């Protein structure tokens, strides 16, 4: 059964890294669809073009573009034979031309529209080189423009996918190639409106692209190849002695993501869960390591404590000025205010006439939020807090994690505890 592999920017950050993927692809036992991100820091460099173009700094934008073009030419020359490079050159030139068109076409355009037209070029460049490399290595590869498959609305930078049309196009354009024995290489992160404007799919967009392809083909599994050996029970940059999680359910991963863990985004999980397709997190540096299997397990899985620590949190105590109860109507209005200021509530606890919320400390959003709230409420603010969340907690671990910390607020259920620490 078809497998979908997703390779992120780190996996192709250099020609050496790209070459190291060849044994992984050769060893696949089933037909492959490969989803690839922009390599290295290309997306960051393309973002710099967007900011300078919007500021009408044409000279700086051109300088960034020239660096990006030269980097891709150098990469292609190093990884490809002269014959393969000659075949690849027209396609790369075409995308460089598309980049310059996007830089020129800003009159009357929104920032988000310009962003998607420029930044989406990164995936097109990287996959063109990758497909040429695999063909050069003797593999039967077909390059596929994801913009001809992933149909979206025009909500630029966070486009919503039209799953009906996308599913039809996957079956019409990808499935026949697989049946013919081809390896399909396509882009993550990007799609297209029905009038052919490039869109991007937002946070973790490449993983989401892979999930859509896997669910709609359907595939046997989706494998996301990272530079880590699998999912960990805590962020190793924050905690010592973390443990790898060999197996975890879709539900548990979504819970971890909701509380702020940098794991798999819920929008990636949803199509896989609905189609019953497992997700594997594998290490491209150590492909022999089993990694982590994410699926809907029938039996209960024993987990170590799953720990999420969010730094730089702001605690707001919001009290009604006229002593109105914080009831359903009041809470509904408050949620609308937070949503309008693009602030996600990470924790909430309410009393009779007050409510306490914890949000990420984003100064340019919190100050206008408080200004809005203070029309009807008294607002007290505590910055520089930590929000600790532990699923499958135990008292010994909690004592260890909160040692020398002042606990400001606690919220506990059977499986999850959240604490605001100072």
Q: Which long-range contacts (CB under 8 A, 24 or more apart) does 295-303 make?
A: 295/247, 295/249, 295/250, 296/249, 296/250, 296/251, 297/247, 297/249, 301/247, 301/248, 301/249, 301/252, 303/233, 303/245, 303/248, 303/252, 303/391, 303/392
List residues bridging with 386 in a β-sheet.
421
Q: What is the mean pLDDT of residues 177-204?
A: 95
Tell me the per-residue pLDDT of 82-108, one tens digit each, with 9 for 90 and over.
Answer: 999 999 999 999 999 999 999 999 989
Sign of CA dihedral 271, 283, 310, 252: positive
Tell me the per-residue pLDDT of 259-316, one tens digit each, with 9 for 90 and over.
Answer: 988 888 889 999 999 999 999 999 999 999 999 999 998 788 999 999 999 999 999 9
What's the whole-model pTM score? 0.91
Burial class from Cβ neighbours inside 10 Å (0-12, 13-18, 19+) for residue 20 reads middle
pLDDT of the residue at 266: 84
Considering the chain, what percentage of its residues have pLDDT values greater than 70? 100
pLDDT of the residue at 298: 79
pLDDT of the residue at 263: 85
pLDDT of the residue at 163: 97
Considering the chain, what percentage of its residues have pLDDT values greater than 90? 93
Q: What is the mean pLDDT of residues 6-35?
A: 96
Residue 203 has pLDDT above 90, yes or no: no
260 or 385: whose pLDDT is higher? 385
> Which residues, 6 or more positions from 82, have their beta carbon under 8 angstroms from its beta carbon?
none
pLDDT of the residue at 299: 82
pLDDT of the residue at 300: 87
Q: What is the mean pLDDT of residues 49-70?
A: 96
Residue 229 has pLDDT above 80, yes or no: yes
Residue 246 has pLDDT above 80, yes or no: yes
pLDDT of the residue at 230: 95
């Amino acid at each position: 059964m078809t497998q979908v592999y997703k390779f992120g920017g780190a996996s192709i950050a250099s020609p050496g890294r790209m070459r190291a993927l060849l044994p992984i692809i050769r060893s696949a036992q089933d037909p492959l669809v490969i989803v690839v991100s922009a390599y290295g820091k290309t997306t960051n460099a393309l973002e710099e073009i967007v900011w300078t173009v919007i500021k009408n700094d044409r000279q700086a934008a051109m300088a960034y573009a020239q660096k990006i073009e030269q980097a891709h030419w150098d990469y292609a020359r190093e990884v490809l034979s002269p014959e393969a490079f000659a075949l690849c050159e027209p396609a790369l030139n075409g995308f460089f031309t598309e980049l310059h068109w996007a830089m020129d076409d800003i009159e009357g355009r929104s920032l988000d529209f310009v962003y998607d037209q420029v930044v989406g070029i990164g995936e097109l460049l990287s996959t063109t080189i990758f497909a040429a490399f695999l063909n050069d290595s003797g593999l039967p590869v077909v390059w596929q423009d994801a913009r001809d498959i992933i149909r979206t609305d025009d909500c630029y930078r966070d486009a919503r996918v039209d799953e009906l049309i996308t599913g039809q196009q996957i079956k019409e354009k990808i499935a026949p190639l697989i049946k013919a024995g081809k390896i399909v290489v396509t882009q993550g992160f990007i799609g297209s409106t029905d009038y052919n404007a490039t869109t991007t799919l937002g946070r973790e967009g490449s993983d989401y692209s892979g999930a859509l392809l896997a669910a709609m083909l359907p595939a046997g599994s989706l494998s996301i190849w990272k530079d880590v050996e699998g999912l960990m029970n805590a962020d190793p940059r924050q905690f010592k002695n973390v443990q790898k999680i060999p197996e975890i359910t879709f539900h548990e991963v979504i819970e971890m993501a909701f509380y702020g863990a940098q794991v798999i985004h819920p929008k990636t999980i949803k199509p896989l869960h609905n189609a019953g397709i497992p997700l594997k997190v594998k290490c491209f540096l150590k492909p022999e390591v089993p990694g982590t299997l994410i699926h809907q397990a029938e039996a209960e899985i024993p987990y170590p404590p799953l720990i999420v620590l969010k730094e730089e949190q702001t605690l707001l105590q919001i009290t009604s000025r006229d002593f109105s109860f914080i009831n359903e109507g009041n809470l509904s209005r408050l949620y609308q205010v937070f949503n309008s200021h693009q602030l996600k509530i990470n924790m909430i606890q309410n009393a009779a006439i007050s409510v306490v919320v914890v949000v990420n400390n984003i100064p340019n959003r919190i100050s206008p939020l408080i200004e809005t709230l203070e029309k009807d409420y008294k607002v007290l603010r505590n910055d520089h807090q930590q929000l600790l969340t532990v699923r499958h907690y135990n008292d010994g671990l909690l004592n260890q994690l909160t040692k020398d910390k002042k606990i400001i607020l606690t919220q506990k259920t059977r499986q999850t505890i959240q604490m605001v620490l100072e």
